[in-house]
Structure 1
Amino acid sequence: MAYVDQQMSGNKITALIIVAILHVVIGYALVSGLASEAYTKVKEITAAVKIEEEKPPEEPPPPPPKNDTPPPPVVAPPPPISFNAPAPQVQTVNEAPPLPPPPSPVALPPPPAAPPAPRFQPKGAAPKGNPGNWATSNDYPSRALREEREGTTGFRVTVGPDGKVTDCQITRSSGSPDLDEATCANVRRRARFTPASDGDGNPASGSYSNSIRWVIPKD
C-alpha cells in the first residue's frame, strides 16, 4: 500500500474513534442526567480535535502531446528565369482583298408581243416618170457653166401621202453650192411620186433617195 493510502486510513480510524467516544459520552450523560455537562464536554472535545477533510492528491500534469507531424520539407528556390530569348519574327503577308460577291441576276422583262402580221405589204414612195427629166442642161446654173464646174449631188426627199415632195436634203455635195441648190429646187418643182402605203394599204409618208450628175453640155 502506498504512503498516501496509509495516511488516509489513519485519519479515518482516528475519526471513527472520536465518533465512538462521543457516542459513549452522550449515552453516559443521558443515563446520569448530566446532559448539559456532557454537551459542554463534547463541545470541548470537538473543538480540541480538528478533523481535517482529506484532500485528494494532486495529479501530476500530463506530459506534452507528441507532435507526430513531420517537419515541412525544405523546398529549394526555383532557378532564375532568363528572358534573353530572341523575339519572334513577324512576317507580313500581303493578301489579296476578297472578291466582291457576284451580282444577283436581274430578271429581264418578257419580250414584247410580236405585232400582228400586216394585211398588205408596205411599200415605199416610187417616182412617176423618168427621174432623169427632173434636171436638164437648161437648168445648169450660169455661173457654174461659165466656170466649167461639174459634179454629182446626192439628195433625199420626203414624200407626203399625196405623192408630193415635202422636203429635200443634200446627202452628198458636188463641191459647188449653186449646183446643190439647183438640184433640190428642180426636184421639188418636177418630181412626182406614187405615195407609200402602210400595212393596211393606206397612203403614208415615205422617202426617196437619188443623185443628179451635173455635166457641161457639148455643142
Structure 2
Amino acid sequence: MAYIDHRTGGNQRVVATAVVALIQGAAIVALINGFTVKFFKPSPPERTEAAQIPLTPIPLPPPPPDTTLEKPIVEPRMPVPDVVLTPRQIPADPISLPPIPDFPPAPRADPIPQPSPTQTFAPRAAKPRNAPGGWATTNDYPARDLREGNQGVTRFSLAIDANGRVQSCTVITSSGHPGLDQATCEKVSRRAQFEPATDGEGKRVASTYTSAIRWRIPQD
C-alpha cells in the first residue's frame, strides 16, 4: 500500500507541474502579444475611391421672374371690310389707231462758208528815231528868258503823219513864260524824227506824240 501511495503522489506532482508550465506559457504569450499591440500599432488602411463619401449636389432655387419688362401692348384689331373687285370689261374688238402720216424729210442746210482768217497786227504808236534829249538844249535858251532868269516846264503834243514827219506842235501845259513855250515847239518840230504808227493791219497811220521839256538855267 505504501508503494501504491507513493506512485499516486508522483503522478499528481507531474500533472501539477505540467499545468503550471501551461499557465506560465500562456502568460508569456499574452505578455508578448500585449507588447506587440502597444508598441507596434499597424497603420490604418488607405481609403480608395470606392470608400470615399459621395456628395449630393444641392439644387438652387429658380430666379425670381423679371417684373421690369413691359408687357407688349396688343392693339385691338379693326375689322377689315370685304372688298369686292368687279372685273373690267374688255371689248372683244381691238381699238384701231389711225395710220401715222409720212412726214417729208427735213431740209438739208449747207454749211456757211467761213471767211479765211486774216493776219492781224498789234497797233503801234509813233516811236522817236533820235534821242528826245537832243531836241532842245541849254544852248537853245532864249536870251531874254535867260537874262530874266525864267525857268519852267513846257508840256507839248505833236501831230505826226503816216510818214513820221511832225505836222504841228501844241502846248498843253505852259511853263508860264511865252518865250520858253515858243522855243519848245520851234526846236522840237525841226529836230524830232519818228517811226510812223501802224494799225491792226500793219498799215502806217497818222498819230500824236506827247512829251515835255524842262527849261533850267545852268549854274556856273
TMscore range, shorter length: 0.3 to 0.5
TM-score, normalising length from structure 1? 0.46
TM-score, normalising length from structure 2? 0.46
